[in-house]
A and B are shown apart, each in its own frame.
Chain A
């Protein structure tokens, strides 16, 4: 079975440009998470979707960040305009929510570098 798929795997862009990260969750999973990982701040939850609906976006750093999940098999995280401090590895994870025992499966991540 295919795991969580993310694209692109690497993205290098210049400050001010728009960046779109993509995620395809595991088929049948109903929860999707976007995380950001840096050396300084570790793994941070940005936003969580359940059944395609954003439940909590309190981790989204600012209005420059937005996320969508138009259907159960696709989600995007957009940064506009991008800044150097956005450089990080962005992970998408999915799970089948079933009470307290749902396990999150992570995608390979997108390494973003903003120059």
Chain B
């Protein structure tokens, strides 16, 4: 079992729709959870971080964490073509090591 699992996609949604990206992790001791966006040929950039169970909203983005189910998700409301990218889920344990998922490719169709 991979430590951080994501559906590779591609996930295709129409412009204006909600995109839902999911991630599961194996280490129950994980404490920090991140979503990075990576455009083709570019470096990952942080868009959301979440540390406690529940929802965290930032503009059009909502991160959801359920530690009991070892599940973290990212919702993108009113999806735009500029949101088309690969989204990386990253999980950090109580130490320093951050494990990245393989990423989900998102396409937003205009």
| Residue in B31, B44, B100 whose beta carbon sits within 8 Å of that of A100 in the complex | B31
Interface secondary structure of A, over-half rule = strand
B34 near A42: Cβ-Cβ < 8 Å = no
| Residue in B43, B49, B103 whose beta carbon sits within 8 Å of that of A103 in the complex | B49
Does B65 lie at the interface of the complex (its beta carbon under 8 Å from any beta carbon of A)?
A: no
Does A34 lie at the interface of the complex (its beta carbon under 8 Å from any beta carbon of B)?
A: no
Does A73 lie at the interface of the complex (its beta carbon under 8 Å from any beta carbon of B)?
A: no
The digit string for A38-52, where 1 denotes a CB below 8 A from any CB of B, is: 000011010010100
A101 to B33, CA, bound (A): 9
Q: Which residue of A lies closest to B34 (CB)?
A: A103
Interface centre among A31, A55, A100, A101 (most CB of B within 10 A): A100
User: From residue B87, how far is it (CB to closest CB) to chain A in Å?
Assistant: 12
A43-B88, A56-B96 known; A101 vs B32 contact (CB < 8 Å) = yes
Contacts of A106 in B (CB 8 A): 43-45
B43 near A48: Cβ-Cβ < 8 Å = no
A45 to B100, CA, bound (A): 9
Contacts of A91 in B (CB 8 A): 43-44
User: From residue A103, how far is it (CB to closest CB) to chain B in Å?
Assistant: 5
The digit string for B32-48, where 1 denotes a CB below 8 A from any CB of A, is: 10100000001111100
Q: Which residue of A lies closest to B8 (CB)?
A: A42
- Which residues of B are at the interface with A, using a C-beta cutoff of 8 A? 31-32, 34, 42-46, 49, 51, 88, 92, 94, 96-103
**15 residue pairs A–B, Cβ–Cβ below 8 Å:** A42-B100, A45-B97, A48-B96, A55-B96, A56-B97, A91-B44, A100-B32, A100-B92, A101-B32, A101-B49, A101-B51, A104-B46, A106-B43, A107-B43, A108-B42
Other than the given A43-B100, A103-B46, A108-B43, 8 more pairs (CB < 8 A) read A31-B96, A42-B100, A42-B101, A42-B102, A91-B43, A101-B51, A107-B43, A109-B43
